[in-house]
Structure 1
Amino acid sequence: MSSPLLRDRCPYRLDGSAADIHGEAAALRALGPAARVELPGGVPAWSVTDPGLARRLLAHPQVSKDAHQHWPAFLNGDLPADWPLRIWVDIRTVQTAYGPDHRRLRHQLVPTFTARRVRALAPWIEETTAALLDGLAKAAAAAPGGVVDLRTHFASRLPWLTVTALVGLPEAMRDSFQTINDTVFTTDLTAEQAAANSAEAARLLGDLLALKTEHPRDDVASALVDAHRKGMLNERELADSIWMVLGAGYGTTANLLDHAVVNLLTHPDQLDLAVAGQVGWDQVVEETLRHQAPVASFMMRFPTEDLHDEPTRLTFARGDALVINYAAVGRDPGVHGVDADLFDITRATGREHLAFSHGPTYCLGAELARLEGRVALSALFSRFPALELAVGRDCLTPLPSLIFNGHREIPVRLEGNPHS
């Protein structure tokens, strides 16, 4: 008898290398508000592309994120042990919790991301941005042809330094943690690669937890260790929550900065509007979030009972895997018009996106990401007004991830091409 996972073959097989996220999103949108898909590893799911349906599902009290309670394929052992995306259902964090567990885990993190604490970070972010731009200039001066990777030296570095400062990650551990963190969101790994990464992640985290237990500080990791000591988190939740904060606080903002820079450099008329102050950097950030959702798709949600959505006339069975396709949602022509695929910082609907999710799962770090975006973009283009891509936009390689939407690297020249 065949596995229940294989009886109902999905009509659309998602590309684990994510070579064309938006082409795939458009194809899925054409199939309806939600389409049956096959995730890497042969696992069936629904990809939700309609903004209204996505909002209703994200806020629905009978839609769970906890595979350990509500995904029959996981509970019945039908999910392959070596499934490359298994980490996204194995982890025990606020991102995979439901009901009281979700409220309990979220409660531990809320104090870190209050408006007051985020505002207080602004001077530190401005100073760090200036230092990174100094480093970027030095790297370019030493590079052949002055070509430097903006993603490595700036777009990913600023959010990584910000989130590791919040978590309390010692400087000596930052590079090792970043290397592993980058692999977590890769969706074309072999099972062996995924297992090796998990083992290394556990080792690194063990070292960090030992340090924070011995020498607690005023940081997220120490606060979570204390919550574990008081019985508010179990050991698995403690470990996974630290990784979650690192990953969510780093990759999403890195992708935001990545796409904002690429879009502005390839739309010089819009860059001129932002630099001249005719359009605010906040609008640049919001349009980037809409046009290039930093999280393209998020794994996964499960109805706790058969769920009928009357506006779309779709019925999702109890335990169906639901994936919210934020890349598709952000370019819905019903919300943003026939030119929804175009980047336009003057767009009236630019703020109408779900890039930070919706309802009870709204991203705790949303305002921090927005702050980093405004500060970083303003400073970058003020410091380097002749900044340009060193390759054509079509030559940029996307990250191999169905989840994170960014580029592997962004080769740029800070002072323009002297031979042009």
Structure 2
Amino acid sequence: MGLPLQGVVVLEFSQYLSGPSAGLRLADLGARVIKIERPEGGDPSRKLAIKNLWIGDDALNFHTINRNKESFTANLKDKDDFELVKKLIQKADVITHNFRPGVMERMGLSYEDVKKINEKIIYAEITGYGKEGPWSMKPGQDLLIQSISGLTYTTGNSDDDPMPFGLSVIDSICGIHAVQGILAALISRQKTGKGAYVELSLLESAIALQFELFTTWFLDNNSVKRSKVSNGNPLLGAPYGIYETKDGYIALAMMNIQTLRRALECAELDQFHQGDVFQKRDEIKAIIRDVLKHHTTDHWLSLLHKHHLWAAEVKDWKQLSQHEGYKVLGMEQEIRLQDHSIITTRCPIRIDGEKLYVNKPAPALGKDTEKIKNELA
């Protein structure tokens, strides 16, 4: 199967997660992604281990983000290396970077510099907070962005401390936004012949991710509050959230409160109408919480599903991976290295019914330098 981005060349000056996650998805879709790395150390995420797990000389995390790419090492302060990079830019379609404002400019690789080398280039730049304003030079790290953006007040209950997501959600969503911007610019270039300068920031992605919350807050800033009981979404009424059962947990989504009353056989809910699910949210949820503790998750699911209500068991990764509903998706793929193999997830996109599997590992630092030099000769 020919992939849609086959023939597109991406030069990835990016590091850590946001920019490289965009490169990962572009590579999955067929682009040739070449990481431009410093000879000494390369992408710092090579040494940023998660749970102190390593594959060879590189952190496991590096392998999850940078599979299916090539590595070209260049000292951009060296004249000969810089000339080689300029030759690569002449052949490239896309450049990505996620350095702080001013870094690429000091290296002579700003958009204006690059456009003189290749006027059709798509230049995608990710910063932490934008290039202007009092925060522009602050470190753009995921937890810090979550904290500044208000996102930590969407998770947990109202009496809890601010609570971040348990993953680098802003890096990931900004990478997705970068792919969207790059693909839009590539389509535009196909029509007009002109390149584009695509700008993103982690903070803008974090704010955009909360579009429902911000829109609600703009209208009524007192209406966005986490519920005290089983908060699932601060904008949604009872019973939306996760509840403990006798042997685990159960998730309840949006549903009619009187239908829920019949499913649970809970007379205490008789006093409430559908219009109460917001005004009396915590009172309703507290009743549901106390009822659900008395029977197992399967018991409640059978009753809830009998009434066509939206409910699901809460699984951990082991429970999920053992279920046929997971297995049929085929989300796992093996990445083979010289002395190791690792299991990771595949691209979630299917094209013409085909799942996109690529077993090419992340590159060793500088692995493709000589090969690419020969191509440029």
Same fold at TM > 0.5? no
Q: Which has the higher strand share?
A: 2
| TM-score after normalising by structure 2 | 0.25
**TM-score (norm. length: structure 1):** 0.23
Q: Which has the larger radius of gyration?
A: 2
Q: Which has the higher helix share?
A: 1
